Chain A
């Protein structure tokens, strides 16, 4: 996907960015869908027909109803069916999206911040600190994410905070490495020397000067990592290692419905699956487009 040439010279960088980004129909569609998903996640409590965590409201008589069927007492129609507890699938999915997205975004943001800071520190401080941080990062990067998450969760058990920690542990090393490489390059440049000569504190130099140069590619990676984190969390929950049953993410919902797949009650698994799919794929689409647009090498004006 090539950026189109500028229409007029008076265009601001932001306008150019917007024009390039939405130049692809697929990316625009992805963006719209993603926006809808995010909105659904934020407003889940408002738009759900039912609160799926409120055990009192659930009626076990309503369990395993097919999509479109009405509840036993006729008070509501289950658009997407119910699960084995009588929970409305639509509501469960909306809340599930909420949790999945929240966990994904939160862990990525923390991992990014942590990795950035450590990477800047390593790049700027050098010496033993740098060696130590990089060694740890290298070792961790040579192991597959699922293994690391597995080990951590095996040791710590279930819970939202624990899974966020596991996801952060999986992601930080990459950001640290990238930031440190960029920092190494920048450190040798003259404007850093100038800043040091002016007596600016190392912290200020790190954040005000080094940071803005390293940011753009990291943003793209972070976007992709959100999708990857959501995917990983779903996998872990599916395996029974992630979130507790009281706060079901999409992964857990899918796991719940697994046993019913074979008997034809597909909706308990499939619908959360589609929601998961939509979330992950749209994030990937948008992030891919973001990368193409932000790539300086493709900026032929």
Chain B
């Protein structure tokens, strides 16, 4: 087990390094940020000063090494646009994104599981077919468009929810969160639901097919022969069997959701990392772009690693079979 972990960590570091190289070189190949930072009528001296200040005069490979050296020490450069350390800037925005993403994951399980179970239990009824049709929509509809429609209907027409932004925040263990207040929840609801939609559809489909398969198993017949209530048969016997693969998929989707929050944050003006990266791309704020990409890649690698390890722990058959020998 230990050897496995070490091997995986090493692999991940290699990927990280390669990615950093690709990203760094790529970002430096496009455009000239100097033009973005300085007004056109600045003179040569101004330009020269800025170039030196940002280290843009050195050759590319040297810039890369300096970058690596600094990165090892936790310094990923200073944002061109904000003049603050890039990493700090991203970390400042991270809680908002994590809050949104976590809410989305929560919604996808809380809504997807019961709906999927319903659809699995009555696949041919009106309820089952409706749920499946809705899940197809959840897959096909572009997220940003759904977000727009949500805003239009619930905020503009009905006025129930705010159109954009994050609610008031309070500090929780030193991190600002907004879900503790009613106002915060009102702001969180639409973007979280929007972000979760694809996943809700996914969980519905997984749960439904899992439930259908489980229902055909002998242990369900035996449970019925024991005279158990339907609610117990579904809620305990079936659910426990289908939960493991679903949890795995949902955990893997966490990274995807963080990535896709870029879109939702833009639509709902949610002050998270995603919005930051879009703005940074527009103004070619290289350090921020590089820092963000590297951070995301790291998060991804971490998630994959954790899920891999979790899976072998979760399934009692796997766990006990190994100890039984």
Using a CB–CB cutoff of 8 Å, the interface residues on chain A facing chain B are 139, 142-144, 146-147, 150-151, 154-157, 227, 231, 234-235, 238-241, 251, 254, 258, 261-262, 264, 266, 269-270, 273, 276-277, 280-281, 284-285, 288
Chain B positions 16-75 with a Cβ under 8 Å from a chain A Cβ = 23, 26-27, 29-31
Please, how many angstroms separate the alpha-carbon atoms of A145 and B287 in the complex? Answer: 23
Please, how many angstroms separate the alpha-carbon atoms of A146 and B264 in the complex? Answer: 12
Interface string of B117-155 (1 = CB under 8 A from A): 000000000000000000011011111110011011000
Secondary structure of the A contact surface, majority rule: helix
Contact A238 B293 (CB under 8 A): no
Instruction: Verify if B256 is at the interface (C-beta below 8 Å from A).
Output: yes
**Can you spell out 16 A-B residue pairs with CB atoms less than 8 angstroms apart?**
A144-B256, A144-B260, A146-B259, A150-B262, A155-B30, A156-B30, A231-B140, A231-B142, A235-B142, A239-B278, A251-B142, A270-B148, A277-B141, A280-B141, A280-B142, A285-B136
Contact B149 A273 (CB under 8 A): yes
A234-B144, A254-B144 known; A239 and B263 CB under 8 Å? Answer: yes
Secondary structure of the B contact surface, majority rule: helix
| A238 nearest in chain B by CB position | B144
Please, how many angstroms separate the alpha-carbon atoms of A227 and B156 in the complex? Answer: 29
Contact B145 A276 (CB under 8 A): yes
Tally the A-B contacts, defined by beta carbons under 8 Å.
Answer: 95
Contacts of A150 in B (CB 8 A): 259, 262, 277, 281
Instruction: Verify if B79 is at the interface (C-beta below 8 Å from A).
Output: no
Interface size bracket, B side = 35 or more
Shortest CB-to-CB span from A50 to chain B, Å, is 25
Shortest CB-to-CB span from A264 to chain B, Å, is 7
Please, how many angstroms separate the alpha-carbon atoms of A188 and B17 in the complex? Answer: 38
Contacts of A262 in B (CB 8 A): 151, 156, 163
Please, how many angstroms separate the alpha-carbon atoms of A288 and B23 in the complex? Answer: 38
Please, how many angstroms separate the alpha-carbon atoms of A158 and B321 in the complex? Answer: 54
A142-B304, A254-B144, A273-B148 known; A264 and B156 CB under 8 Å? Answer: yes
Contacts of B291 in A (CB 8 A): none
A155-B29, A235-B263 known; A258 and B148 CB under 8 Å? Answer: yes
Instruction: Verify if B289 is at the interface (C-beta below 8 Å from A).
Output: yes
Contacts of B27 in A (CB 8 A): 154-155
